[in-house]
């Protein structure tokens, strides 16, 4: 799916008009909707700074907008082939069904993919079991890895904040 389609998808998901989104990005009132229409039709491609701003306004990770070419079966097939080359992901059969398999022997990158897939599987299982709702699941997916606590991706406070908190609460800390 091209970036144009992802922008369109997330804009509609958020219930925004093209004009509203363009205005949020700082485009002039007269051209805000035209500019967004150009991005959504693919006649213009947003530069990195605009993509980052779009992600912020649409409340998604920038990576959620930049996805490989999966607009056609051939493009998708070549995306899978690239995944095999880079990460050792291959197709296999299990229980009579085709599935993708990560070759852990491929190295560090394969291990990271396995961790990512395990985290995704965990969130999907929670959705299926009713432990989380679709909105929470989508929040996790569209901001990955920001809210992922399974793979060590969680943001931690800065050392300065940690030091300030220790200083503020030092009278409550138990002595060693």
In this predicted model, what pLDDT tens digit does every residue of 73-109 receive, in sequence order? 887 888 888 788 778 889 999 999 999 999 888 778 8
When divided into structural domains, the chain yields a total of 3
Domain membership flag for residue 163: yes
Residue 89, helix vs strand vs coil: strand
Quote the domain boundaries for residue 111: 107-176
Cα separation, 146 vs 142, in Å, equals 9
How would you label 58-95 residue by residue, b for 16+ Cβ within 10 Å and e otherwise? Answer: bebbeebbeeeeeeeeeeeeeebeebeeebbbeeeeee
* Shared-domain flag, residues 80 and 32: no
Global pTM? 0.62
pLDDT in tens, the chain (176 residues): 678 988 998 999 999 999 999 999 999 999 999 999 999 999 999 999 999 999 999 999 888 887 776 777 887 888 888 788 778 889 999 999 999 999 888 778 888 888 889 999 999 999 999 999 999 999 999 898 888 776 544 444 556 666 666 666 666 665 55
* Shared-domain flag, residues 150 and 176: yes
* Shared-domain flag, residues 14 and 58: yes
């Amino acid at each position: 799916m091209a970036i144009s389609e992802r922008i369109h998808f997330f804009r509609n998901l958020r219930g925004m008009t093209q004009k509203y989104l363009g205005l949020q990005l700082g485009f002039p009132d007269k051209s805000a909707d035209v500019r967004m229409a150009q991005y959504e039709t693919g006649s213009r491609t947003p530069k990195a700074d605009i993509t980052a701003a779009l992600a912020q306004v649409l409340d998604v990770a920038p990576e959620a907008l930049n996805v490989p070419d999966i607009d056609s079966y051939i493009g998708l097939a070549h995306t899978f082939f690239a995944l095999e080359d880079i990460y050792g992901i291959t197709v296999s059969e299990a229980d009579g069904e085709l599935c993708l398999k990560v070759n852990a022997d491929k190295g560090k990158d394969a291990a990271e993919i396995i961790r990512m897939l395990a985290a995704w599987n965990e969130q999907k299982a929670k959705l299926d079991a009713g432990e989380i709702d679709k909105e929470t699941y989508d929040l996790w997916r569209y901001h990955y890895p920001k809210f992922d606590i399974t793979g060590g991706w969680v943001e931690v406070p800065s050392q300065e904040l940690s030091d300030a908190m220790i200083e503020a609460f030092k009278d409550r800390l138990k002595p060693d």
